[in-house]
A = this chain, B = another copy of it.
């Protein structure tokens, strides 16, 4: 039986500083082009420390991804639970996303561009589970509105794409520099479209 010891007080700070440095590098030069040494220098840590905390480069990328997704999800649920009606709820899904990506441009860019990374299976499972439980909570919130006829009854898997797809797609164009106005600036148009698409 091995003795369990608490992680040290400085650990979260070091982890965070590595993730922050990694994000800067990834955004600046792309994931593939940033070297472990870039991250090491930017975060002021050592190779040993990096590998101790994250295992390998993929591990750093995965940590950053999971971290970001969870912040985004948590922010949505917090805002959603303050809503008083179906319409307000649907509009909030769109406007929260718009505001969040505009306020956290770098991490949003990373999240939207990093599907490609072949995360190891255990990370994929973790991500799947995070997604599943988030979706479950969101659907629990909207379920009643559909049942009592305030919202259209559609195939279950089409609600998310129909409500969130357009603003997400717009955000991609914005991050790629192909459109000028930030998502936060045009959110009303997309909130309007979303509500029209699902109102009964």
Interface residues of A (CB under 8 A from B): 29-33, 112-118, 128, 131, 154-155, 157-158, 160-162, 164-170, 172-173, 176, 178-179, 181, 186, 189-190, 193, 196-197
Contact = CB atoms under 8 A, between A and B. Distances in A.
Task: Identify whether the interface residues of A are mostly helix, strand, loop, or mixed.
Answer: helix
Contacts of A29: 118
B113 A115 contact: yes
Contacts of A158: 166, 170, 186, 189-190, 193
A30 B118 contact: yes
Q: In the assembly, how many copies of this chain are there?
A: 2
Nearest to A34: B118
Contacts of A112: 115
Contacts of A179: 157
Most chain-B Cβ atoms within 10 A of its Cβ — which of A155, A169, A170, A176? A169
A198 to B, nearest CB: 9
B165 A33 contact: no
A166 B155 contact: no
Given A30-B116, A32-B32, A157 B169 contact: no
